[in-house]
Amino acid sequence: MQSLPNMGLIVLSGRSPILAERRTYFEVRTYILTQFEDLQLIAPLLRAVKGQGYTEPTPIQVQAIPQILDGRDLIGLAQTGTGKTAAFALPVIQKLDALNLNRHPKAKRHIQALVIAPTRELASQIGKSFETYGSYTKVNHTTIFGGVSQNPQAKRLRRGVNVVVGTPGRLLDLMNQGLIRLDRLEVLILDEADRMLDMGFMPDIKRIIAALPDKRQTLLFSATMPPDIQKLTRDILTDPVEIEVERESTTVDAIDQKVFFVEKNDKRKLLQHLITEENMHRTLVFTRTKHGADRLSQQLSRERIRSEAIHGDKSQRAREIALKNFKQGKVQVLVATDVVARGIDVDEISHVVNYDLPNETESYVHRIGRTGRAGASGMAVSFCAKDERNFLEDIERLIQMLIPVKAEHPYQSQYGVPQPTDLTSTRRSAASRKRAGGRNRRSGGGYGRNRNGGGGRRSFSGNGGGGGNKSRNKRRDGQSHNHQNQSKSPQA
């Protein structure tokens, strides 16, 4: 164990048995907050942070920033929305600013830090964070991804940059063309590593890493730690500090969840009903397919519900316009697929709707994590048809709670409500085993717990309120759970 000076905070490092034995103590202590001034950040960074209205760092920032400044390799287990981008961007900018302190103004810059992200949206979001936090330093950056012309990106690379943020495919393309040289790299950051694994990017990642100098600092951030990511950490990190700030399924604490049992032919009508009756003013809807997203958006638009679709087949320009319109309130409903789930950073999303339940259980947590951010409350609504009930069982075992049922609505399933999921079972459904293709995945047992204690009977709500999973602990009609922070922290 290592103590951070003047913070009264314990950091558990390395892979020793102490980490597993003291896990509970560690997780409690991570919520002790301090001030940005206590993290030994330089004045230009403090000025940038203050300019954004941030006053206190988040737990992962408190834990990670001193370790990164100290040059340690790091594994950060944290979900989107915990402030992890600032946790690595701030110390990396500070390190590079020191390295460039005596650089001649006319000397060409070379790439000293590389951030790899799975999607264009997430890469853009990270790039904006580097721009914001580095605005008063000598560190510059560029963001590169596919779906757009490479010419402007190549032009910026030729002029010289300190930080490159990019997606694996375009990075590899530009490396093969000789436009990106990484022989002088100081820091490698892999963000959303588990998502890159899911999207099949690991071969590209390994080819990129093979071109890097052996002597470097490596930071890896991931919401989950499947076996392939564990192996990657052993291969590319040296004596890493391991930080776990919040297990993935704890997003449920700020989010009211409901499940509606409804068949496919009635899902659109139910969605229209809820949008109208429940004042769903800024709603993010997830479908399983790109075609489904386009079709649903068009159907909603015909019903005079302002809607746009966003997915991997859309051009980058179209995706940016759709997100901008959604952020500005010009669009009431944004229909999306999972490929962009972690890259959508929009404040005050009132509702997330799982129009189609995800067939990858972890995606459920990432989807609903788009609401209830920065301490605000949020609502997550899931539609479950008969052929999706196995998916629901897998999700409930993952998050270790029974999602409250909205039993009374105009489009109830003719098949009724199923028996409650056995949360103690580690058995996955046949559909889940088929999806996994024999891949070893983590069971849901250790992911999290319901705020009402986990386990117990499924609760049924006819009045629209959320609920715990004990029938005697149902929420009263209209009861809200708004955990507002007393201070603002960077959530990028």
Region at 147 (left for phi over 0; alpha for psi -120 to 50; beta for the rest) = left
- pLDDT at position 429, please? 56
- pLDDT at position 481, please? 36
List, in sequence order, the alpha helices (H) in 22-146: 23-29, 43-51, 59-69, 84-99, 120-133
- pLDDT at position 120, please? 87
d(CA 312, CA 100): 38
Residues in the chain with pLDDT values less than 50: 1-33, 247-251, 430-431, 433-457, 459-486
- pLDDT at position 376, please? 63
Check: CB of residue 307 under 8 Å from CB of residue 301: yes
**High-pLDDT (> 70) share of the chain, %:** 75
- pLDDT at position 362, please? 78
Token output for 458? 């499924």
* DSSP-derived pairing of the beta strands 255-261 and 307-310: unpaired
Task: Tokens 């590899």: give the residue.
Answer: 172
Fold of domain 2-246? Rossmann fold (3.40.50)
- pLDDT at position 318, please? 86
Which of 230, 243, 274, 253 has the alpha carbon at shortest distance from 375? 253
Query: CB burial class (10 A; 0-12, 13-18, 19+) of residue 237?
Result: buried
Q: Which CATH superfamily is domain 249-473 in?
A: P-loop containing nucleotide triphosphate hydrolases (3.40.50.300)
Count of C-beta atoms within a 10 Å radius of residue 308: 24
Q: Report the amino acid identity of residue 318.
A: A
Strand partners, 308: 334
Q: Write the CB contacts of 339 (distance below 8 Å, at least 6 apart in sequence).
A: 119, 199, 311, 312
d(CA 415, CA 215): 60
Say if 2-246 and 249-473 have the same CATH topology. yes
Q: What is the residue extent of each domain of the chain?
A: 2-246, 249-473
